[in-house]
Amino acid sequence: MTHSSDLRARLDAATASIRARDSRTPDIALVLGSGLSPFADTLVDATVIPFPEIAHMPVVTVPGHAGKLVLGRLPGVPDSPVIAALAGRVHFYEGHSMDTVVFPARMLIALGAKTVVLTNAAGGISPTCRPGDLVLISDHLNLQGTNPLIGPNDSALGLRFPDMTRVYDPALRALAQASAHAEGTELREGVYVALTGPSYETPAEIRMLRAMGADLVGMSTVPEAIAARHMGARVLGISCVTNLAAGVSATELSHDEVEHTAKATRDRFIRVVCRTLAAIGKADR
């Protein structure tokens, strides 16, 4: 069990190890989901810091997830905001504590990022979802059975009982919508439900989740969104629908399918995210 005072010391050590390599304050933190890590390699004026070189950063184990922080600017965007991109994510199903799962996002907010953009690969529950769709997260259901804020609260970081009425910032969503439109991509909105995984859902579970109001299902994002709101950062969430959820189509699910669709959708996803980040930077100036 790690404690809140210890959390502040770990955040201080982690941000110090980043600042020693690059003194820029990031404007936007970007967490890249399954198959989307290559976005980090498109950044220019970049400083690349492997996770093991950052104090207290957890080790990433899932195939398809590299582990590095890239600080840099958007290519071809004059006055680009400074982006801190995490290529590689830690998941609860890997056996990490929730505290560890949200540490990288907290670290980038502690470094100065006021906005956190969370991306993921998700299964499509809604009958209108198609693999390859990009969906803006409008709200979430936390069904991971725990909460990253459980434990002593450090009031210097945030409130004991933070509000979650608008986790996914409406103004950021409007910027993302406009950016996708400009890229010629439709960006629908949906409710994302997080389960622990790592097994995929059963068809009965998917019917239950649909009845509960979920449009997308995945194993990440929600803890980071809660921790980011706790620290007062604005949050935007974008899912790439990599597969239809279990039972929605007749086929079985595999991580290969998830990675394959994420890869096939990657370029469009990167263009939408890049334009959205540029728009956020512009709106904040």
Footprint of ligand HPA on this chain (CB under 6 A)?
A: 121-123, 197, 200-201, 217-219, 242-243, 245, 253, 258
The CB-of-238 to ligand HPA minimum distance in angstroms stands at 14
The CB-of-12 to ligand HPA minimum distance in angstroms stands at 34
Residue 235 has φ and ψ, to the nearest 5°, of -125, 140
Spatial CA neighbour of 105 closest among 21, 231, 280: 231
The yes-or-no answer on residue 147 being catalytic is: no
Nearer to ligand HPA, 10 or 65 (CB): 65
Nearer to ligand HPA, 100 or 144 (CB): 144
Which of the following is catalytic: 219, 245, 262, 278? 219
For residues 85 and 72, give the distance between their C-alpha atoms in angstroms, rounded to a whole number: 8
The yes-or-no answer on residue 179 being catalytic is: no
Yes or no: say if 236 and 228 are a contact pair by the CB < 8 Å rule: no
Dig out the tokens for 75 from the structure.
């290519």
Cβ atoms within 10 Å, residue 117: 24
Nearer to ligand HPA, 31 or 49 (CB): 31
The yes-or-no answer on residue 183 being catalytic is: no
Nearer to ligand HPA, 218 or 237 (CB): 218
The CB-of-219 to ligand HPA minimum distance in angstroms stands at 5
Which of the following is catalytic: 168, 220, 224, 239? 220
The yes-or-no answer on residue 255 being catalytic is: yes
For residues 266 and 38, give the distance between their C-alpha atoms in angstroms, rounded to a whole number: 8
Which of the following is catalytic: 14, 40, 56, 65? 65
Distances in whole angstroms, Cα of residue 266 to Cα of each of 75, 164, 189, 234: 16, 30, 19, 24
For residues 271 and 280, give the distance between their C-alpha atoms in angstroms, rounded to a whole number: 14
Catalytic residues: 34, 65, 91, 93-94, 121, 219-220, 243, 255
